[in-house]
Amino acid sequence: MTRDRLSPSRLSPSDVFRVGAAGLRARPARVVLSALGIAIGIAAMIAVIGISSSSGAELMRRLDRLGTNLLTVSPGQTMFGTKAELPTTALRMVKRIGSVRTASATGSLDTGVRRTDRIPDTVTGGIAVQAATTELLTTLEGGVSKGTWLNAATEQQPAVVLGSEAASRLGITRTGVRVWMGDRWFTVIGLLGPMPLAPEIERSALVGVPVAERLLGFNGHPTTIYERSADEAVEAVRAVLPRTVNPENPAEVEVSRPSDALAAKAAAAGAFTNLLLGLGAVALLVGGVGVANTMVISVLERRREIGLRRSLGATRGQIRVQFLSESLLLSALGGVAGSAVGALAASGYALERDWPPVVPPWAIGGAIAAALVIGTVAGIYPAMRAARLSPTVALATT
């Protein structure tokens, strides 16, 4: 004669979910406050990653639009530590390089620009006056917001084109007005738009080379040469520029790539992003401590419920699963809510700055996974504590 063996009851995944959710529904205020800590940490991390990704996407869009094939040549220092000088033939030599598509130059002038002749010479407003070749705008791929650029006729006359920042500092918003330069009046014939790869042009007043030599004492030595070449030839051109520009003293020539400055700016922003991510991780950890505290209090308050379930046949493992599932659901609730808030914040910030909104899917998935890990770790101790309660002791608790 065989005896029927009693087998322990089993909880299906749906049962586990219902049991865990029931425990959370009984204390909605506490659940919201506990999940808030997780949500804040997740939202901070998602927002930081989203804003950083959107900024990077905007940088790449700008670089694609502006190009990374622009190189600038400027004088370095002599072996005696004094400022070097580029030869007057430097621009012509650069144009002879086979891969160079276009090249232009500017030369600094020892004068200032003022709205009237009544302003002292010492007041410059931080605006540089430079002689510029007519190809400058083409090389920099810039644009004129108002008026016109220098041409073969106006470069011979006392005419000036103002960079956007220079015009703003002078309070000039239209062409046709006159400014005082080098003890004579110059007529403003154009206002430039933004020049992201050449911010020094934005702060300059630009005149033609011939009139600069005739009226402003320009000696013909360029201070900056701008050149564009084929993308695949940039590094090769960069290598030959110093010896081409100044064959006698190539060490006195400095070559830079303006797009590298934008990339360095992005890298600096990335370091700041890592700091903010660390702060978000700390907030997430604090939220995990809050979840653990909530679950410990829940175990203490529900000892009679635990004892009743144990008396009705629930195993220690099922009690552990019940409280662990509550912790996971609590963390998942905070993770999902925080991901949504963080994604909305990052997208809103990007759209407000006219950036392409980018929130990497891996960031959302990783954030929710991190919340679940935090929930698991936070729920282990309370679940084990609940499972160790003796049914008789638990039922006797008042």
pLDDT of residue 43: 86
Strands (E), the chain: 70-75, 100-108, 113-114, 128-132, 144-147, 159-162, 178-181, 184-192, 204-208, 224-229, 253-256
What does the pLDDT average to over 90-106? Answer: 91
Contact 41, 280 (CB under 8 A): yes
Who's near 300: CB < 8 A, 6+ residues apart?
none
Contact 150, 206 (CB under 8 A): yes
Q: How confident is the model at residue 385 (pLDDT cuts 50, 70, 90)?
A: confident
Q: Is residue 184 left, alpha or beta, with left meaning phi > 0 and alpha meaning psi from -120 to 50?
A: beta
- The residue ranking higher by pLDDT, 342 or 392, is 342
How many Å apart are CA 338 and CA 61, to the nearest integer? 29
- Does residue 267 surpass a pLDDT of 60? no
Who's near 229: CB < 8 A, 6+ residues apart?
69, 71, 97, 99, 100, 101, 237
- Does residue 396 surpass a pLDDT of 70? no
Tell me how many helices (H) and strands (E) the chain has.
13, 11
Q: Which residues pair with 132 in a beta bridge?
A: 106, 208
Q: What is the reported pTM?
A: 0.61
Which token pair is 303? 């000892």
pLDDT, averaged across the chain: 82
The 10s digit of each residue's pLDDT in 220-251 is 999 999 999 887 888 888 899 999 999 888 88
Contact 74, 233 (CB under 8 A): no
Three state DSSP letters for 199-265: HHHHCEEEEEHHHHHHHCCCCCCCCEEEEEECHHHHHHHHHHHHHHHCCCCHHHEEEECHHHHHHHH
- The residue ranking higher by pLDDT, 393 or 188, is 188
Return the minimum-mean-pLDDT range out of 40-54, 97-111, 255-269: 255-269
Q: How confident is the model at residue 1 (pLDDT cuts 50, 70, 90)?
A: very low
User: How far is residue 93 CA from its own chain's centroid?
Assistant: 38
How many Å apart are CA 343 and CA 357, to the nearest integer? 9
How many Å apart are CA 378 and CA 318, to the nearest integer? 18
Q: Which residue has the tokens 């101790």?
A: 381
Q: How confident is the model at residue 270 (pLDDT cuts 50, 70, 90)?
A: low
- Does residue 9 surpass a pLDDT of 60? no
- What does the chain come to in residues? 398
Contact 385, 303 (CB under 8 A): no
- Does residue 281 surpass a pLDDT of 50? yes
- Does residue 120 surpass a pLDDT of 50? yes
Q: How confident is the model at residue 124 (pLDDT cuts 50, 70, 90)?
A: confident
Contact 316, 387 (CB under 8 A): yes
- Does residue 21 surpass a pLDDT of 80? no
Q: What percent of the chain stands above pLDDT 90?
A: 30
- The residue ranking higher by pLDDT, 60 or 15, is 60
Q: Which residue has the tokens 């905007």?
A: 58
The 10s digit of each residue's pLDDT in 108-119 is 999 999 998 888
The 10s digit of each residue's pLDDT in 24-82 is 666 777 777 777 878 888 888 888 888 888 877 777 777 666 667 888 999 988 877 78
Q: Which residues pair with 83 in a beta bridge?
A: 77
- Does residue 2 surpass a pLDDT of 60? no
Who's near 213: CB < 8 A, 6+ residues apart?
131, 219, 220
- Does residue 315 surpass a pLDDT of 90? no
- Does residue 334 surpass a pLDDT of 60? yes
The 10s digit of each residue's pLDDT in 194-224 is 888 888 999 999 999 999 999 999 999 999 9
How many Å apart are CA 227 and CA 236, to the nearest integer? 13
Amino acid at 55: S
Q: Residue 321, SS3?
A: helix
